[in-house]
Amino acid sequence: MSDTRSPITQFYNCRVLRDHALVEDCLYVQDGKIIDPAKMFWDEQRVPDVRVNCQGGIINGAYGYDFSNDTDMIEEAVSNISKGLLLQGCTAYCPTTVSSRPEVYHKVLSHLGPRAGSIERGAAVLGAHIEGPFISPLKKGAHELATLRTAARGLADFDECYGLDNLRQHVAYVTMAPEVEGVLDAIPDLIAATGINISSGHSNATTAVANQAHRSGAKMITHLFNAMHAFHQRDPGIIGLLGAAESRPFYGIICDGIHVHPHSVMIAYYAHPQGACLVTDAMSAQCLPDGAYKLGEMDVNVHSGHVYIKDTSTIAGSIISLAECVRNFIKFTGASKVEALENATLHPAQMLGIESVKGSLTFGADADILVLDDNLFVQRVFIAGTEATSENVKFNKKI
């Protein structure tokens, strides 16, 4: 609960993204939360202590390190990436690990759990996204084959690999392939035992198996179209879930113009606009020069915005920012600004079940605020109600 004596900040001369529309309104912040101004005006008879002129802007709520490879400097990695992302305009994120050996998960996951965002800490961490190793060898993408495994023993295999306590405390969601031995049957038990979210991905699953996984609790698809059963008219695989008559899953989609053709992005948008979650799939070379880098234990090359496993044509992540993904989504689909912004804010929060505090500007939500111009370029960033600038948010790049 806010201290009624603490300062109140008013954001004015702005268009606020609220209730699926951009409305001309003011926003009021106290103690890092968005507040209802009626109480301030009528009950406390107060006026704002600080006023921020948004100049008519729209309000909406990397760097050489690798979470799977830099295990001996994981806190340094989290700190610097969180601060760098904040200055880009990303106020909360899920740090992602690629398929790794159990000792890596047991070492790093405790450092990737939820933590509040602030000027000192950078963007909020919502919990880890574990991508693999319970994925298909046929659709492994940039994951190391030697690390992949099955779940023949059900929960025991997940406990051995990750640690169930780690899943409960530090993980937001896990990507797995439902056709891998033991995975489909384990999904309900895994959710009941840990409360995590399950996403289907890196999978050769048929539509029938993908449907079973979704009915069992897998509520998302990881990077739609990439590393999965190709669409076929008689069996569209996981992609076919977007055409289901019943409930359909959320889906992550990488709008860098490399991972997914713009026409494919448009197909997904028209099939299920309320399920789109924009993701960057960014790896350690984001905001760094072209050259050689690591993705987990694998060597990758970065050149002109493309990231490939060394000496192959296998895509190994991206270096795009989330703000660029938002602008690309509009360019690829013709979607409205509201739709594109909600794909990067509200929909991911809904998938994680945290929309009351993240991804929206409702009363009581965290005051993580972006001020954008009409072309959706980031002008100002606020975390917990405090403005983040290059002067008060310092971080290092590991080159």
Residue range 307-318, pLDDT digits in tens = 888 888 888 778
Distance, in Å, from the CA atom of 14 to the CA atom of 55, rounded to the nearest integer, reads 7
Instruction: Give the tokens for residue 42.
Output: 């009528």
| C-alpha separations of 277 from 158, 174, 224 in Å | 26, 16, 10
Backbone angles phi, psi at 25, to 5 degrees: -160, 175
Nearest of 197, 191, 256, 178 to residue 223 by alpha carbon: 256
For the chain, the distance separating the N- and C-terminal CA atoms, rounded to the nearest angstrom, is 43
Adjacent-strand bridge partners of 131: 175
Q: Residue 328: how many CB atoms within 10 A of its CB?
A: 19
User: Residues 204-229, buried b or exposed e (16+ Cβ, 10 A)?
Assistant: bbbbebbbbbbebebbbbbbbbbbbb
pLDDT confidence of residue 355: 95
- Could you tell me if 207 and 237 are in contact, meaning their C-beta atoms sit under 8 angstroms apart? yes
As beta bridge partners, residue 353 has: none
- Per-residue pLDDT at 60: 56
What number of other Cβ atoms are within 10 A of residue 24's Cβ?
Answer: 9
Burial class (CB in 10 A: 0-12, 13-18, 19+), 26: middle
* Per-residue DSSP letter, 231: P
Cα 269 versus chain centre, distance? 18
Alpha carbon separation from 386 to 15, 116, 163, 210, 394 (Å, rounded):
19, 13, 36, 43, 15
Cβ atoms of 48 and 85 within 8 Å: the answer is no
3-state secondary structure of 352: helix
Q: Which residues are catalytic?
A: 281
Give the count of beta carbons closer than 10 Å to the beta carbon of residue 171.
Answer: 25
Task: Report, in this order, helix, strand and coil percent for the chain, each rounded to 5.
Answer: 30, 25, 45
All residue ranges of the chain with pLDDT < 50 are 1, 62-64
Selection from 52, 66, 96 nearest residue 292 by Cα: 66
- How far is Cα 354 from Cα 164, in angstroms, rounded to an integer? 21
Residues 129 and 175: beta-carbon distance below 8 Å: yes
Q: What is the pLDDT of residues 325-352, one digit of tens each?
A: 999 999 999 999 999 999 999 999 999 9
> Cβ neighbours of residue 9 under 8 Å, at least 6 residues apart?
28, 29, 30, 48, 49, 50, 51, 52, 385
The pLDDT assigned to 218 comes to: 98
